[in-house]
Structure 1
């Protein structure tokens, strides 16, 4: 049985799927795959037998992607698995930004003595808020979460303006036609009464909302970050709040610089923490891991290109290699020189890496052994794996 190592509490939905497909969970053998949530792998030794790491969630900054990519380890996430959960907390945060619910609850709990109902009724005027309807929401990032937030806010009678630096056809289809597409992030920040950020944390996005961008916002505006810690420069946000250049800041990521600030609401990274989201993400992760280890198909990889082809031949060979010229020519020549007929060849590239899938029917044991060893000797080939179709 193939061993899978897990970190963190993984939903039984995912673990049961792996067990049903004949995987061992946290056995004694060297693992072929790792399934995790928030565990920091940057300082963890990764066994040479590991072929895939799957994050049951969207963010993957807890995984040393570049280092593992050079070793031929495919890294996956589960985009959309917790999107509805994060969307719902974002909508709740919008309400908290519009209405002083937290303070009102504390006031009600602190009311003691006499006619509690009368005292509460006479003092509630200090907790008057505003309605979301008619206000403008700016959504930065229109991916799985941002698009859901934008569409829901529209249903709440908000005006919505969205900006996505990677806007494409898939993004466009996800959002309602009544949502205005901004040409720049500055346009969103200048117009919006509420701004919510839903972009991944990458080095280029660190402190995406910095002091300069905060200065573009209305002093009456509210800022929400339920995306990732580090997307917003919290020091700059605190300064903006202290100088009345920002009305309120709500974040799902604790930072000591924000503690004890009456204009800040912090939740302890609970955006994706629902039973449904954990089940969905774990099941997605398990299926992607199984698919890659048994067929070579790559779906939702964060470091290698996706290839998802029906496995219709007896065998296939997956080749992870650097994205350099003449690799397909060298790979095709290798198979031809050794009299191995290629039934189908698929190739995709992203950034510095490429993935080639070769489908084969006639494949002797000697040829298979040769491919497993000699193909890796071609310059720029990182890893070669052979797959056998269990249904043929």
Structure 2
């Protein structure tokens, strides 16, 4: 039986993926093999020796000590794309709020509590509505920074609304490129994107290369009156540079999902309380995807959507399966296979993948590996962790 420890409130649709007979799930489990969580920060928590995998029900993993997990052979999963539609729809809402003074108009209407006659209120609204005039999105250019699961959906939406779309992504994968609509104009750098866009929306992860990606230098290239939308992470934007750009008129509006004191109560800032993925559907999708990935790993050793391990999969376990992770140096797999030959272990099938400094192997064996075999593999230089997965 596998123990899965939960943090935060996880959707029941996700937790129901863990079969009651094979899994024990709860917030107070000792020696768990897996964690499933949302935004709980784990950096300060001790890592139990039993832990094999951690699944974050969401895209960002800055709340996980990923490097520490990698060093211990613990797989860290996320759920890219599971909340993409929720974020896409909020991007649309953000653009509409920035282009039409919907909030100002609502506040003005709600403030007219002294008027009791409907006809009088109607006359006032007609007289004052020009104060809240805006502009349409159709025909404007939306720049998208990051063309992955969310960015490609935002591009589809914008094109359907009659907008022009430009995109910039220095790390665009082949899979993401296939998803991208053909009408998206690819830009070679951020400055080129900013210079041609009326709106720019950010959909890249918060990693060292993207920290303060939007700063005084990059924003200097922006088209005057740009609306900047940040539903990714706060670290990607230098807030002081954004405020300076708002003061100068380089930026017309800043829409963000990460309020901080410097941007509160500004008429040119729309700050929301980190609600990009806060829909019932997104929380369910993320939880189900995280649970499915944990199950596939715990039961079969397969890895998909890990942020630290390579994608590595084989079919269902037919007999006995041994997996191991190792530092990605030459000779490790050969040394393991030599042990199998020496100890008369019959290999049925295998797959070996690498990612950066880490490698991972799945090997199907004809018989259950003995304690001697497992200990010998674990003792191979550069091997991090060895695990045996048996067929049900």
Q: Does 1:262 align with 2:288?
A: no
Residues 70-91 of structure 1, C-alpha deviations (whole Å, 9 max, x = no match): 0111000011110000000011
How far 1:219 moved relative to its partner? 2.1
Aligned to 1:385, what secondary structure does the other structure show?
strand
Match of 1:276 among 275, 281, 287: 281
How far 1:168 moved relative to its partner? 3.0
How far 1:130 moved relative to its partner? 0.3
Aligned to 2:167, what secondary structure does the other structure show?
strand
How far 1:178 moved relative to its partner? 1.1
Mark the runs of 5 or more structure 2 residues left unpaired by the alignment: none
Aligned to 1:17, what secondary structure does the other structure show?
coil
After TM superposition, the score normalised by the length of structure 2 is: 0.96
Q: Does 1:86 align with 2:87?
A: yes
- What does 1:302-381 align with in structure 2 at a 5 Å threshold? 302-363=307-368, 367-381=369-383
Tell me what 1:34 maps to.
35
Tell me what 2:4 maps to.
4
Tell me what 1:387 maps to.
389
- What does 1:147-186 align with in structure 2 at a 5 Å threshold? 147-186=152-191
Tell me what 1:106 maps to.
107
How far 1:302 moved relative to its partner? 0.4
Match of 1:211 among 207, 216, 231: 216
How far 1:312 moved relative to its partner? 4.7
**2: CA distance, partners of 1:116 / 1:160:** 41
Match of 2:140 among 91, 115, 135: 135
**2: CA distance, partners of 1:128 / 1:91:** 18
**1: CA distance, partners of 2:229 / 2:270:** 10
**2: CA distance, partners of 1:263 / 1:373:** 63
- What does 1:240-255 align with in structure 2 at a 5 Å threshold? 240-255=245-260
Residues 312-334 of structure 1, C-alpha deviations (whole Å, 9 max, x = no match): 53011111111111122112112
Conservation of the 8 A alpha-carbon contact between 1:234 and 1:255: no
After TM superposition, the score normalised by the length of structure 1 is: 0.96
**2: CA distance, partners of 1:368 / 1:17:** 32
Tell me what 1:290 maps to.
295
How far 1:373 moved relative to its partner? 2.0
CA RMSD of the aligned region, Å?
1.2
- What does 1:41-120 align with in structure 2 at a 5 Å threshold? 41-114=42-115, 115-120=120-125
How far 1:369 moved relative to its partner? 1.3
Per mean C-alpha deviation after superposition, the further-off stretch among 129-138 and 231-240 is 231-240
Number of equivalent positions: 387
Conservation of the 8 A alpha-carbon contact between 2:320 and 2:389: yes
**2: CA distance, partners of 1:155 / 1:72:** 45
